[in-house]
Structure 1
Amino acid sequence: MINAYLENMVLTANPVRQVILLYEKAISCLDEATELMERGSAGAEDMKRKYESMGRATEILTVLDATLNMEQGGDIARSLHEVYQALINDLVRITVEGDEPQTLRKMIKILTELKESWEEVEKKVYGRPEATAPAV
């Protein structure tokens, strides 16, 4: 039931809202991974959840990067590409080298700032922003 609601929300959202929803989900995934790192539990289930969360965040960043239109977006698109690539590289490094909750917190801050910028774009282009459900 919730998945159908979320799917409908994403499919009917304006393109800017879709980007915002992706940011929200990536932030949620990184929050979960950070919490699991800080808890310090080495249990198999927690490890699995942590890596799945980081994997989902990586997938979202890859989608955001792949949808950039370098021709129309110009310098902004190139800058976003560099940011997305740096974040993806950090996630890969953390996956290989070990836990770095402080790096994930920095990533969350960057993504939150980008999300807020897109929310401003949405206000200017579409008027009032659409209501969103919490990232699941």
Structure 2
Amino acid sequence: MYDFNSGLDAYQETSNEAQAATADPHKLVVMLIEGFLDELERAQGHIQAQRFEHKGRSISKCMDILAGLDSALDMEQGGEVADNLHNLYEFCALTLYKVSISNETEQLASVFTVMENLKLGWQQMGRDAA
């Protein structure tokens, strides 16, 4: 039997790969943050529905995205901005770790806020650079 979700996932992955291939660096960061926020919403839903195995996978994907964003920082040339971004990513990762253990979704609000604000900042930088 055909699994609709796996087909949708494959379509979304292909669509994302096509967008990423033509995106500027600002857009790539925005795409990663949007993916993070989407997955964070899934994790929250999984916790609320007590689908803990799925929650674990979603939180793991979020952690991977944070690690990717953090590893792209140029700590030598980025100065205070890179330092601040690193600290924000670290805060989000630590909060996700705590949520993974406690299953208390209230803590996710601060992560949503941080990442939404970062997304808006990157979007503005992209517009300014254009």
Give me the whole-angstrom Cα distance separating, in 2, the residues matched to 1:109 and 1:115. 10
Give the structure 2 partner of residue 111 of structure 1.
115
- Tell me which of 23, 32, 41 is aligned to 1:22: 32
CA shift for structure 1 position 21:
0.4
CA shift for structure 1 position 112:
0.4
Give me the whole-angstrom Cα distance separating, in 2, the residues matched to 1:85 and 1:54. 14
CA shift for structure 1 position 103:
1.1
How many correspondences in the alignment?
A: 120
Higher-RCO chain (CA-CA 8 Å, sequence separation at least 6): 1
The 8 Å contact of residues 34 and 105 in structure 1, kept in 2 or not, is answered as no
The runs of 5 or more residues in structure 1 that have no matched partner are 127-136
Letter in 2 for 1:10: A
Give the structure 2 partner of residue 67 of structure 1.
72
CA shift for structure 1 position 115:
0.2
In the superposition, the TM-score normalised over structure 1's length comes to 0.82
Give the structure 2 partner of residue 6 of structure 1.
16
Give me the whole-angstrom Cα distance separating, in 1, the residues matched to 2:15 and 2:39. 20
Give the structure 2 partner of residue 89 of structure 1.
94
User: Over residues 17-49 of structure 1, what are the superposed CA-to-partner deviations in whole Å (9 max), with x where a residue is unaligned?
Assistant: 000000001111111111222x3x33xxx2121
- Tell me which of 52, 58, 63 is aligned to 1:58: 63
Aligned residues: CA RMSD: 1.3
